[in-house]
Amino acid sequence: MAMAQAEYPIGSHSEPSSAARQGVAGLRTLGGGKRENVRGVKVNLGCGPGPQPANWVHVDGSWNARLSKFDLVRRTLSALGIVSRENASLAWTPDLVTANLRGPLPFSSGTVDCVYASHVLEHLHDDEARRLLRECFRVLKPGGVLRLVVPDLRGIVERYVASASRPARADSSPLPADRLNEDLHLRPRSVARGNVLFRLYSTMTEFHTHKWMYDAESLTERVRSAGFVAVEERGFLDSGIPGIQEIERAHRVIGGEGICVEGVKPG
């Protein structure tokens, strides 16, 4: 469900590589839209726009992701002011699987080797996030790995406390409280602008805002509660997922930007 986030590199659509075709071909559509894993599959939830590694299955549930498959509709909505020009011009991986991350994942039970989700969980309400974690548990094979990256609530609060305790500054840097609000990203700084349809859409969805924040302790508890074992905080690229360097980005983790928690489905 990760939204169209500008920090992802933007590229043009291209033909899927042979590895990508094999990965997607390894998912045979079943009744109800679920997919059965014929080959080993690594799933990237909330992938966002831009180029993606070919040997993962990339899933996103945003409206931008769904509209990416209908270019004429996207351009028409942009012309009407319902979708911003920036969002209308975003390029997505051609092998994108669209799915609502608030509902059942489009994979059969026990068929996925690993699930990766970076800066996704915080965009869901707590009950929705717990439900998604249970879905991840369901689709993973025994021994499969779940890896989550989220903004570090503890780090955000510690930066605020340290900044607020310093003497008043005369420079133009953001005030500590303003920076805290920006880091938490619970609400936008201003109301949605655009025509009435776009404002209504923005109010109804609020996809971009954070709904629930985590520190390492609370995220670990959520993963354990979903049934995972060997749950622990991990560092950047420290993972039981082979090829994690293909998908994990330093600017989403290091420098206090995020925490990683990993768990294993028992069996």
Provide Rg for the chain, Cα atoms. 19
Q: Is 260 in a helix, a strand, or coil?
A: strand
Give residue 255's pLDDT: 82
Which pair of tokens denotes residue 224? 């354990």
Domains (ranges, CATH) in the chain? Answer: 18-152+210-264 (3.40.50.150)
**Considering the entire predicted model, what is its pTM?**
0.77
On whether the CB atoms of residues 80 and 195 are closer than 8 A, the answer is yes
Left (φ > 0), alpha (ψ -120 to 50) or beta: where does 195 sit? beta
Give residue 114's pLDDT: 97
The C-alpha atoms of residue 215 and residue 102 are separated, in whole angstroms, by: 22
Q: 263 has which bridge partners? A: 146
On whether the CB atoms of residues 151 and 183 are closer than 8 A, the answer is yes
- Each residue's pLDDT expressed in tens, for the chain with a length of 267 residues: 443 332 222 122 333 333 334 344 444 343 344 444 445 689 999 888 777 888 899 998 776 766 667 666 666 766 666 666 666 556 667 788 988 899 999 999 999 999 999 999 999 999 999 999 999 999 999 999 999 999 999 999 999 999 888 877 767 788 999 999 999 988 877 766 666 666 666 665 566 789 999 999 999 999 999 999 999 999 999 999 999 999 999 999 998 789 999 999 998
> How many CB atoms within 10 Å of residue 175?
12
Which pair of tokens denotes residue 215? 């520190």
The C-alpha atoms of residue 260 and residue 158 are separated, in whole angstroms, by: 18
* Residue 146 to residues 15, 35, 192, 265, Cα–Cα distance (Å): 29, 19, 35, 8
Give residue 153's pLDDT: 95
Taking only the tens place, the pLDDT of each residue in 87-143 is 655 666 778 898 889 999 999 999 999 999 999 999 999 999 999 999 999 999 999
What average pLDDT is seen over the chain? 79
